[in-house]
Amino acid sequence: ISLRKRAWAAMSAAERLEVKLRLAGTALGAGVPVYTGEIKTAGFRRVLAEWRPDAIVTCGFGQVLDGGILGTAPYGAYNCHPTDLANGHGAGPAPWDDMAARGVTHTVWSVHRMTEVVDAGPVVGQTPPINVADAQGRLIPDPRAFFFKVLPPIGWMVMRTVDALVRRRAMGLREPLRHVELDAAMPP
């Protein structure tokens, strides 16, 4: 959790603290370790070496992982990004701005393998289109409202991605995902 990145900047300090505590509490309650702060540090690299992750999954992370971090996860590192990366749309830190520039009112979540180049890894899955229009059919005029409208599928997408990774591990396959089914099974 890095509170100076991406959507966090649109929240007040009190909202950021509330969300951070809720996220950390949920993860810790499920037995998942939590790290907050910058990742390109010797301290984080020591923590990561202790954790020895099979895979890394992020959402709206806002940081580029370097090869040393990416190389720690034999099943790969994946990011959930709220734009159509498979068709070349929205890479980078401003998905709402990309949609506004293109004049579109629908987006998808793309799950892609992370590389040292931001949002450039192969897309392994995408959700069905998500309508981000207001009541008049126009793109929501506030980037903050955009993030709140696209957030609901994140938990489901991450669980589908983790489930696919767990199945690969159970089958003895020691390589990253090539595909995760997201389009046919997304809840309404």
- Could you report the per-residue pLDDT of 92-148, keeping only the tens digit for each? 888 888 999 999 999 999 999 999 998 999 999 999 999 999 889 999 888 778 888
Stretch (H or E) spanning 29: helix 13-29
* CA dist., res. 106 & res. 39, Å (int): 32
| Tokens coding 33 | 């370790």
Write down the residue that tokens 């159970």 correspond to. 170
Q: What is the pLDDT of residue 86?
A: 95
Q: How far is CA 173 from CA 10, 55, 114, 121, 188, in A?
A: 41, 13, 19, 20, 32
**93 bridge partner residues:** none
Least Cα distance to 103 among 126, 133, 147 occurs for 133
- C-alpha 7/C-alpha 146 separation (Å) is 10
3-state secondary structure of 71: coil
What pLDDT is stored for residue 7 in this prediction? Answer: 61
* Distance, CA of 6 to CA of 19 (rounded, Å): 14
Q: Which two tokens stand for residue 157?
A: 């997408």
* pTM for this entry: 0.88
> Does the pLDDT at position 8 exceed 80?
no
Nearest one of 79, 99, 92 to 143, comparing CA atoms: 99
**Rounded to 5 degrees, what are φ and ψ at 59?**
-140, 125
Q: Is the pLDDT of residue 79 over 60?
A: yes
